[in-house]
């Protein structure tokens, strides 16, 4: 399954906070048909954020939501021009969010996407590519290829 298309890679964005970033991400997800209701998706992300930090290290975060408003599993990448405050393991702000959208009924897919994404972000070569690339197709292909592997 193709979880990431070029239009799900959002480069050079300008959110001023974690909340604004998540709102804008959900609005784009609604425009792309990933979610039915961007506000409901935003609330699902906020509910997950309340459970604990989704910020990892080195400016990366993996916000994720599982909700009935989510139509299909998808991964979106948001690269912000500046880092924004975000609860993270190294207490550093975040400028790259790899967001996971999973339909409510799809618990196994949620766990699979989350674990594969976490493993991917532990790979320094992948993090470097994600940080340095300004090509949506390159980023989408790399993530899709990695998620397709068993």
pTM above 0.75, yes or no: yes
Q: Which residue has the tokens 């967001």?
A: 99
Instruction: Collect the ranges in the chain with pLDDT lower than 50.
Output: none
Q: What is the pLDDT of residue 150?
A: 65
Domains of the chain: total: 1
Residue 29: the pLDDT is 97
pLDDT at position 2 is 66
Backbone φ and ψ for 76, nearest 5 degrees, come out as -125, 145
**Domain carrying residue 144:** 6-148
CATH of the domain at 26: 3.40.930.10
Q: Report the distance separating Cα 29 and Cα 31, nearest Å.
A: 5
Q: What is the CA radius of gyration of the chain?
A: 14
């Amino acid at each position: 399954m193709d979880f990431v298309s070029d239009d799900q890679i959002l480069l050079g964005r300008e959110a001023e906070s974690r909340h604004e970033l998540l709102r804008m991400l959900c609005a784009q997800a609604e425009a792309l048909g990933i979610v039915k209701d961007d506000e409901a998706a935003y609330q699902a992300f906020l509910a997950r954020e309340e459970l604990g930090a989704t910020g990892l290290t080195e400016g990366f975060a993996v916000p994720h939501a599982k909700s009935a408003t989510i139509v299909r599993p998808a991964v979106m990448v948001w690269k912000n021009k500046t880092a924004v405050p975000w609860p993270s393991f190294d207490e550093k702000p975040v400028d790259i969010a790899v967001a996971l959208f999973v339909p409510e009924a799809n618990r196994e897919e949620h766990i699979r996407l989350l674990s594969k994404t976490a493993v991917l972000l532990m790979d320094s070569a992948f993090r470097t590519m994600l940080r340095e690339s300004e090509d949506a197709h390159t980023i989408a292909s790399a993530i899709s290829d990695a998620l397709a592997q068993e």
